[in-house]
Amino acid sequence: QKEVEQDPGPLSVPEGAIVSLNCTYSNSAFQYFMWYRQYSRKGPELLMYTYSSGNKEDGRFTAQVDKSSKYISLFIRDSQPSDSATYLCATQETSGSRLTFGEGTQLTVNP
């Protein structure tokens, strides 16, 4: 069983839609949670970073962590074609330990 499970998609939505991306994890020691965005043929870039349970908002993006159910989410409001990319969730036990990535969800936002 993978430590972090993520539906690879692909996910296709119309412009302006609310997008929900999700991951589940099995290791209860994970405390740090990240979302990376990866455009085609590029390296991943950090989008959101959260510690422990709770919500974090940045513009159109909201990251949610529910440690009790080991569930992490990324919501994208008013999605744009420029949001089309692969989104990878990542977890970390402690600051400084290795990142464990999900498989990535490929998102296409259609104009």
- Residue ranges that bind other proteins, judged by CB under 8 A: 8, 32, 38, 41-46, 49, 86, 88, 92, 94-99, 101, 103-104, 106
Cβ at position 45, least distance to other proteins in Å: 7
- Measured CA to CA, the distance from residue 27 to residue 11 in angstroms comes to 26
25 or 32, CB closer to other proteins?
A: 32
Closer residue to other proteins (CB): 79 or 104: 104
Task: Judge whether 93 and 30 are in contact, CB under 8 Å.
Answer: yes
* Complex with other proteins: residue 42 or 77, whichever CB lies closer: 42
Query: Three-state SS string across 98-109, please?
Result: CCEECCCEEEEE
Q: Which of 75, 82, 89 is nearest to 109 (CA)?
A: 82
